[in-house]
Amino acid sequence: MIKKFARNEVGRDFVVGDIHGCFSRLTESLYSVGFDGEKDRLFSVGDLVDRGIESHLVCDWIAKPWFHAVRGNHDDFAIRHAKIGALDFENYTRNGGAWFIALPKDEQLTIADALDSLPYAMQVETDNGLIGIVHAECPYENWNELVEALESNLTRTKSKAITDWLMWARERAESGYDGMINGLNSLIVGHTPVKNITSLGNVIYIDTMGWRNEGHFTLIKIQDSIA
């Protein structure tokens, strides 16, 4: 449920906002910063699929050794559609899921399995403390409480409450609450579209809508996100 990374001793670490099947545009952004897959790492705040025309490439990206993503709500849409089927199809289609619904069942399951391998949270060590990454928001004001919960044997109800919050919540963004998440230097999130990088306390919102023509992908170097 959570994946932990040691500090990068040889290269740079970047975090990118919601991708939504726009992998060619992301590749252009990586080229612009001289990304080197031999040394650098790219972390994603999730929502790898839907809306963009290249969502079908998601398995190729998840397989890249330098690419690491958390699970977003759109990734969870695909998993639930393929594996459970309990989904509001009209809502899923309206939010970009028509491409997935149209796939043969075996292709759906292959993609769903790849997405299901993604953790709900990641943390990365830096010289100045931990950087946390989730898709939407942290349900606790202390990162260590989230880590403990995700590493515990939770009841299904409790687990769903936590993971739904990690993938769907917008309470902080909508209220403008700027309290700190203790136990972290910074928490980097997507999910809530913003025109430019926005911070509330030590929570940094980076979904600058690179999946829209009028938007752009934000690539922040983790060391630059240190508060």
Query: In whole angstroms, what is the distance from residue 42 CA to residue 33 CA?
Result: 12
- The string of DSSP letters for 41-55 reads EEEE-S--SSSSTTG
Write down the catalytic residue from 20, 56, 68, 74: 74
Tokens of 35: 């990304």
Query: In whole angstroms, what is the distance from residue 76 CA to residue 85 CA?
Result: 12
Residues 157/133/15/177 CA torsion (nearest 10 deg): 100
Query: In whole angstroms, what is the distance from residue 227 CA to residue 224 CA?
Result: 8
Is residue 74 part of the annotated active site? The answer reads yes
Element (H, E) at 129: strand 129-134
Q: Where in the sequence numbering do the catalytic residues fall?
A: 74
